[in-house]
């Protein structure tokens, strides 16, 4: 059974989906591993889908959490990247759920326009291009969302473009929970910007994080990294203060250590 996270009575973490589980020996490149989250109370909502080939596994975890796949009414996507939408067509087919995505990413998810190509070099670039372009299987988007839109559960759309043109976070104000997708990474006890090579516009990705500054939340769930479950906004806001108040033209830091910060 999926663990019921402390401090929350209505969210369960679906087992993270990893590319290595899907396809054998895959180098753990940034962006390969992505969290999938379930809001189990009716109507159930899934946030992101994981890699292609992981649809059955995600739905097994959903069932283990006590939710019938057919009860999932909505799949809310943070952005089009393969580690977040790869299993979409499979999960959509098995649940009949509506799919929501931002206007700017929806045509890519639906296969109407080719994916944006981040600038990538070397072997990791070759692998990433293959992963981003070849593993992708389009799926319909039923519901186009924009900044400020409200979805079931009071899930509010917070546009954070840059990582992809239509990247969004999802915010549950009443519960004090935010899902940040790939707007922020949480690795090695550090908050980080997504790796530049994977982002459509790193400068915009950085600036658009300002949208999180006005949100109050206890819990923050990342596409990549362990969730923060207590007063997460203090940590995130502190990071953003340092990031966004630094000189505008300065290169984005790789990460700001959370250790020793207060
Ligand atoms: Zn990702
Ligand atoms: Zn991404």
Q: Over the chain, what is the mean pLDDT?
A: 79
pLDDT tens digits, one per residue of 177-210: 999 999 999 988 899 999 877 888 889 999 999 9
Q: Are 164 and 170 in contact (CB under 8 A)?
A: no
**Ligand 2 centroid from CA 65, angstroms:** 26
Question: Comparing C-alpha atoms, which of 209, 205, 188, 181 is closest to residue 256?
Answer: 188
**Ligand 1 centroid from CA 194, angstroms:** 8
Ranges assigned E (strand) in 163-247: 168-172, 177-179, 185-187, 190-192, 219-221
**Ligand 1 centroid from CA 152, angstroms:** 24
**Ligand 1 centroid from CA 198, angstroms:** 9
pTM value is: 0.81
**Ligand 1 centroid from CA 35, angstroms:** 8
Element (H, E) at 94: helix 88-95
**CB-side exposure of 149: number of CA atoms within 13 Å?**
16
Q: Are 256 and 33 in contact (CB under 8 A)?
A: no
**Ligand 2 centroid from CA 51, angstroms:** 12
Percent of the chain with pLDDT over 90: 45
Q: In sequence order, what DSSP letters do the residues of 118-136 get, joined into one string? A: ----HHHHHHHHIIIIIS-
> Residue 82, class by beta-carbon neighbours within 10 Å (0-12 exposed, 13-18 middle, 19+ buried)?
buried
CA distance 66 to 28: 31
Spans of all domains in the chain: 12-248
pLDDT tens digits, one per residue of 60-69: 888 888 889 9
CA distance 181 to 198: 13
CA distance 44 to 67: 8
We find that the CATH architecture of domain 12-248 is 4-Layer Sandwich (3.60)
The average pLDDT across 136-152 equals 93
**Ligand 2 centroid from CA 110, angstroms:** 17
For residue 170, CA distances in Å to 56, 94, 107, 208, 253 come to: 24, 24, 20, 14, 25
Q: In terms of pLDDT, which residue wins out, 176 or 121?
A: 176
pLDDT tens digits, one per residue of 5-21: 333 334 445 544 332 22
For residue 158, CA distances in Å to 90, 166, 209 come to: 26, 10, 10
Local confidence band at 117 (pLDDT 50, 70, 90 cut-offs): low
C-alpha gyration radius of the chain? 17
User: For residue 98, which phi and psi values (nearest 5 degrees)?
Assistant: -70, 150
Q: Are 170 and 35 in contact (CB under 8 A)?
A: no
- Residue 213: its pLDDT value, please? 96
């Amino acid at each position: 059974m999926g663990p019921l996270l402390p401090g929350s009575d209505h969210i369960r973490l679906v087992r993270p989906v990893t590319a290595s589980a899907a396809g054998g020996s895959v180098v753990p490149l940034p962006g390969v591993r992505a969290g999938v989250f379930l809001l189990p109370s009716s109507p159930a909502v899934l946030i992101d889908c994981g890699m292609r080939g992981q649809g059955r596994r995600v739905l097994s975890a959903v069932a283990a959490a006590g939710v019938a796949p057919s009860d999932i009414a909505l799949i809310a996507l943070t952005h089009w990247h393969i580690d977040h939408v790869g299993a979409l067509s499979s999960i959509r087919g098995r649940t009949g759920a509506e799919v929501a995505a931002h206007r700017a990413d929806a045509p890519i998810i639906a296969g109407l326009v080719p994916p944006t190509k981040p600038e990538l070099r070397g072997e990791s670039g070759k692998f990433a291009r293959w992963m981003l372009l070849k593993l992708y299987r389009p799926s319909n988007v039923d519901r186009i969302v924009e900044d400020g839109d409200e979805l079931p559960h009071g899930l509010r759309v917070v546009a954070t473009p840059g990582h992809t043109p239509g990247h969004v976070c999802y915010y549950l104000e009443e519960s004090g929970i935010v899902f940040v997708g790939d707007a922020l990474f949480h690795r090695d006890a550090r908050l980080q910007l997504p790796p530049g090579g994977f982002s459509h516009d790193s400068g915009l990705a950085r600036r658009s994080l300002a949208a999180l500054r006005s949100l109050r939340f206890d819990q923050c769930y990342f596409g990549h990294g362990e969730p923060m479950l207590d007063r997460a906004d203090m940590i995130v806001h502190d990071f953003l203060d340092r990031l966004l108040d630094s000189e505008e033209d300065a290169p984005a830091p790789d990460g700001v250590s959370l250790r020793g910060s207060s």
